[in-house]
Homo-oligomer: A and B are copies of this chain.
């Protein structure tokens, strides 16, 4: 349908599919964690996985929840409060769209780097 086949065109490197809400170090970490854990993660787990401070994670979760990318349910583990975070279907969808653009960036760059290796190489799947 709306396939952004922006291989050519005047704005080839604009990458405007890089959603600002997702394209943020901390939130990208959080979302990637959640995508790989579809059953959800507790606040503390997320905090450790993403190496974030409490306040930091809390804030980003607020943003992600407001954007309807994650759902947050508060419950209890024993008698301690426990916040469980899950990625929503919509969040998953937007994350995948974002990832597609990221892949395009990697591909654009990788091809250029391969054709002029300079002093470093990038492991490229198409290389095998």
Contacts and interface: CB of A to CB of B under 8 A. Distances in A.
Interface residues of chain A: helix, strand, loop or mixed (majority): helix
A49 B122 contact: no
Counted per complex, copies of this chain come to 2
Interface in A28-65: 28-30, 32-33, 35-36, 38, 48-51
Interface range on chain A: under 10, 10 to 19, 20 to 34, or 35 or more? 35 or more
Interface of A: 5, 10-16, 18, 20, 23, 25, 28-30, 32-33, 35-36, 38, 48-51, 89, 92-93, 95-96, 99-100, 102-103, 105-106, 108-113, 116, 118-120, 122-123, 125-126
Contacts of A116: 38
A32 B119 contact: no
A12 B106 contact: no
